Amino acid sequence: MTGDLEVVDPSELCDDTCDFAYDGECGDGGPGSTWDVCEYGTDCSDCGPRTLHDCDTDGSVCRDTCPFAGDGQCDDGGTDALTDLCICGTDCLDCGSRTLDDCGPDSLVCDDTCDSAYDGECDDGGFCSDWDECACGTDCFDCGPRTLYECDTGDPICEDTCPFTIDGQCDDGGIDATTDLCACGTDCLDCGSRTSEDCTPHGDGDGIIDEDDVCDNTPAGTAVDPEGRPLGDLDLDCDTDLDDHALFLQEFTGPAYRPVAACCLPDRVCMLATEAECTGLWQGVGTTCAPNPCTAFVIIDTVPVGNPGNQYDLGSSTGRYGDVAYVYNIGKFEVTAGQYTAFLNAVAVTDTYELYNPYMADPSFRLGCNIQREESPGGYSYSVAPDWANRPVNYVSWGDVARFANWLHNGQPTGGQNLSTTEDGSYYLNGATDNAVLYDVVREQDASWVIPTEDEWYKAAYHKNDGVTRHYYYWPTSSDILPGYVTDSGNLSGTGTAFTEGGSDPGNYATYNGDDGIDGIGSPYHRTEIGEWENSGSPYATFDQGGNVWEWTETTYLSFYRILRGGSFTDIDHYLRAPFHIESFLTDEFPNVGFRVAALP
């Protein structure tokens, strides 16, 4: 296992001699590039380091997706390999480039049945392709061989990238597996080869047909515990919702009993408990925290992000992202206009640090989120119409977002903007509004509610939630296929079905400007309500990490900026991709920028 081993590739190319370096868009023509305007490897600030084998089309395969790449021994099962823990061609650092002769025809996909083969351009839609006209592996002359990892051919899957391989029990979640700790087909030594039928999820989502299928409503691919319940299902009701989040806030690790009702604690957290255990306002038998009975409070619905120690994504051209060494929770949805309105009413009666932007009030010309402010002798009050309350807030700066996190950290107090409400907590701000001062703000050691780092955000969006792997999707909808969208004519793309809010989601959809015309879902809202695409979540069950609004992260860039991720309702598709991020001044406020928060244990 390489663990935290730092691998230095001697073939690395990385300089910024490109005239368009530092513009936030990769322009060197390599994998994930937006443009092809510079020499390969000369836009390192935007593309990340390149290697000589990033786009190898000389009839060989050279990838480093093997989790043991760089450990000093060849693990890909090809000629002269010491082990076959990985797919042939995926441990280039240790084995070198591989050919068909090295790997054998059963390990690589390589033929020239593509109609466009031999035209000098790679047309199979795979790694470093020029076009997506043919099936993966069918333009071998122009693209080079493909690995089984890149092309799902429907043939038996057999690799041993699961960290629990060779332990004597099958851990890949397929038919007859003992556990589902790893992705199906990655524990070949213990499970044998897998087919797509073997890997079809069953019942409770654990991939095993057995007596533990107690949660038959669990979506396929959901991470489950040994009993077949979704991870984080603390109240044993086969889902992860606000009730479970309330228990998470109480640091409840059970379930030792089944809570029977809810009460509102003095710090305004909704607690699941029995009447004897409730030390706050008892809500009565049968009451739950979903919806929140503590109506004066903001409940942030979060989901757990596990698999601590997962490996970073090698596939992103702008850097190496996604490795997080600890368990955390992240907002299931973006923070809404309704939640932000409650925040303003709590701390912005006199809005010292301008948490409210007047453009929020104008949904027509300024594309605001329709939060209205009224002034009275007692100060400001805020409201938002019901049909806007569950859409993401916008026109928020990084400083606004840090103050919202502090407010959550401090228990959602009311009062002026001071050290007990917004100016200290997870971040020490103490009146900071200047870009340079905000740039120096860091997460406090005892922080509870935070702005996610780029790694925390990236992992929740793209990691496949299949163990401590380096497996990531290209889009934050649990897919490597371009998400659908609402067309300019108001239909769901690829169908003749009209889009209606609250209607059925076909799966793999997002709110963005897919045909480069009308923004999002069109006037008057442009943005969908949170969770509108209920079948398009990430593997960790977050929603809208692609589209709707850009989301602030905690991560700094150069000496002036912080990073934003996810794309928005005004953007075309490539801004939603894993390789893409942008940076912005910390005081900037835009109609297509919002945020979500994360919670630390």
Both structure tokens of 422: 């917004």
Q: Does the pLDDT at position 367 exceed 90?
A: yes
**In whole angstroms, what is the distance from residue 415 CA to residue 574 CA?**
43
Question: pLDDT band at residue 59, thresholds of 50, 70 and 90?
Answer: low
Helices (H), 384-517: 386-389, 398-409, 435-439, 454-462
Burial 46-67 (b: 16+ CB within 10 A, else e): bbbbbbebbbbbeebbbbbbbb
Burial 410-425 (b: 16+ CB within 10 A, else e): bbbeeeebeeebbbbb
pLDDT on residue 316: 62
pLDDT in tens, 237-286: 676 665 666 566 555 555 434 445 777 665 556 777 766 666 666 666 66
The residue that leads in pLDDT, 538 or 46, is: 538
Highest average pLDDT, of 17-26, 152-161, 209-218, comes from: 17-26
The residue that leads in pLDDT, 158 or 218, is: 158
| Residues sharing a CB contact under 8 Å with residue 552, sequence separation 6 or more, in sequence order | 396, 398, 401, 451, 562, 564, 593, 594, 595
Q: Phi first, then psi: what are they for 324, rounded to 5°?
A: -135, 130
Both structure tokens of 157: 């899957």
Q: Phi first, then psi: what are they for 303, rounded to 5°?
A: -125, 145
pLDDT on residue 586: 96
pLDDT in tens, 87-141: 777 777 788 888 777 876 666 677 788 888 888 788 877 666 777 778 777 888 8
Work out whether the CA dihedral 136, 121, 39, 580 comes out positive or negative. negative
SS3 state of residue 380:
strand
**In whole angstroms, what is the distance from residue 167 CA to residue 145 CA?**
32
The residue that leads in pLDDT, 466 or 6, is: 466
Q: Are 298 and 408 in contact, with CB atoms under 8 Å apart?
A: yes
- From edge to edge, which strands make up the β-sheet containing 328-331? 302-305, 328-331, 598-599, 449-450
Q: Does the pLDDT at position 213 exceed 60?
A: no
pLDDT in tens, 408-462: 998 888 899 999 999 999 999 999 999 999 999 999 999 999 999 999 999 999 9
Q: Work out the mean pLDDT of the chain and round it to a whole number.
A: 80
Question: pLDDT band at residue 290, thresholds of 50, 70 and 90?
Answer: low
pLDDT in tens, 454-507: 999 999 999 999 999 999 999 999 999 999 999 999 999 999 899 999 999 999
The residue that leads in pLDDT, 28 or 598, is: 598
pLDDT in tens, 552-584: 999 999 989 999 999 999 999 989 999 999 999
Q: Does the pLDDT at position 210 exceed 70?
A: no
pLDDT on residue 112: 81
Q: Does the pLDDT at position 18 exceed 70?
A: yes
- Look at 221-225, 426-430, 491-495, 516-520 and tell me which has the smallest mean pLDDT: 221-225
Both structure tokens of 249: 């806030």
HSE value, Cβ hemisphere, 13 Å, CA-based, for 30: 28
Q: Does the pLDDT at position 45 exceed 90?
A: no
Mean pLDDT of 534-542: 96
| Residues sharing a CB contact under 8 Å with residue 105, sequence separation 6 or more, in sequence order | none
**Mutual orientation of helices 337-347 and 398-409 as an angle, nearest 10°?**
70
Both structure tokens of 564: 């934003």
Residue position matching structure tokens 């027509």: 364
Q: Are strands 550-557 and 593-594 parallel, antiparallel or unpaired?
A: parallel
Give the closest residue to 35 by CA, choosing from 57, 19, 51. 19
**In whole angstroms, what is the distance from residue 170 CA to residue 179 CA?**
7
pLDDT on residue 32: 63
pLDDT on residue 174: 75
Question: Would you list the domain boundaries of the chain?
Answer: 1-55, 242-288
Both structure tokens of 343: 């925040």
pLDDT on residue 101: 77
**In whole angstroms, what is the distance from residue 329 CA to residue 310 CA?**
15
| Residues sharing a CB contact under 8 Å with residue 279, sequence separation 6 or more, in sequence order | 263, 265
Percent of the chain with pLDDT over 70: 70
**In whole angstroms, what is the distance from residue 394 CA to residue 333 CA?**
14
Give the closest residue to 353 by CA, choosing from 405, 416, 266. 416
**In whole angstroms, what is the distance from residue 477 CA to residue 254 CA?**
31
- Which CA distances in Å does 550 have to 329, 358, 580, 583? 20, 20, 11, 11
Mean pLDDT of 191-214: 56
Give the closest residue to 320 by CA, choosing from 510, 462, 128, 127. 462
Got the DSSP string for 489-512?
TSBBTTSSPBP-TTS---SSB-BS
Q: Does the pLDDT at position 358 exceed 50?
A: yes
